[in-house]
A = this chain, B = another copy of it.
Amino acid sequence: MSYETAVEALIDVGGRLHDRGWLPATSGNLSVRLGDGSIAITVSGAHKGGLRESDLMRVNGEGRAIDDHRRPSAETLLHTQIYATFPEVGVVLHTHSVNATVISRLLGRSWEIDDLEILKAFPGIDTHESRVSVPVFDNDQDMVRLAGEVERHLHDGPPGYLIRGHGLYAWGADMDAAVRHLEAFEFLLQCELLTREVTRS
């Protein structure tokens, strides 16, 4: 995929995810891995609901700017870590929904999910009789330290994790897969929230 095509895809998905309330204010980051291994990613502080070309930049596999004087967002490191860990991943979406924020603060170090048909939206799961464990990391402004925590839990499990009081990282081989995984996580977060509201005694 060329940088120009990636920019178009990121502008489009930014608008769609913002309309769903998953990228409030200027939260979140979105990225696509290009054919040459470099990455197109949103810059810090851009409003994802109305991205312009100037809100995107190109970084290398280590997250350093290519042909650009701007400093990438600190969270770029969490994107490059996912790309480095999973050669098949082409898109990383970091969203910031109310549900991800609220539920992540109520969970411990992981979110256990089972017995739901929607789990089949994740790779390698072909029955609702599965158990998925989503890591939940404490929020940290020190991205190197946070990436270190993530490193220890990234290799297995579903294509996503939560950062407490911060949001969700989800990824996939291409944009369709990443959005499908994101929709499944947000669906599961809403199920978790409503179930707690209705059953808490």
Contact = CB atoms under 8 A, between A and B. Distances in A.
A195 interface: yes
Contact of A121 (B26, B105, B196, B197): B26
In this complex, the member of A24, A27, A190 whose beta carbon has the largest number of chain B beta carbons within 10 angstroms is: A24
Main secondary structure of the interface of A (DSSP, over half): helix
Interface string A148-164: 00000000000000010
A165 B115 contact: yes
B187 A193 contact: no
Given A101-B191, A106-B199, A165 B121 contact: no
Contacts of A196: 198
Interface stretch (A56-64, A78-86, A176-184): A176-184
B139 A102 contact: no
In the A-B complex, the 3 residue pairs with the closest CB atoms: A25-B121, A117-B166, A24-B187
Interface of A: 24-27, 47, 96, 98-99, 101-102, 105-106, 115-118, 121, 126-129, 139, 141, 163, 165-167, 176, 180-181, 183-184, 186-187, 190-191, 193-201
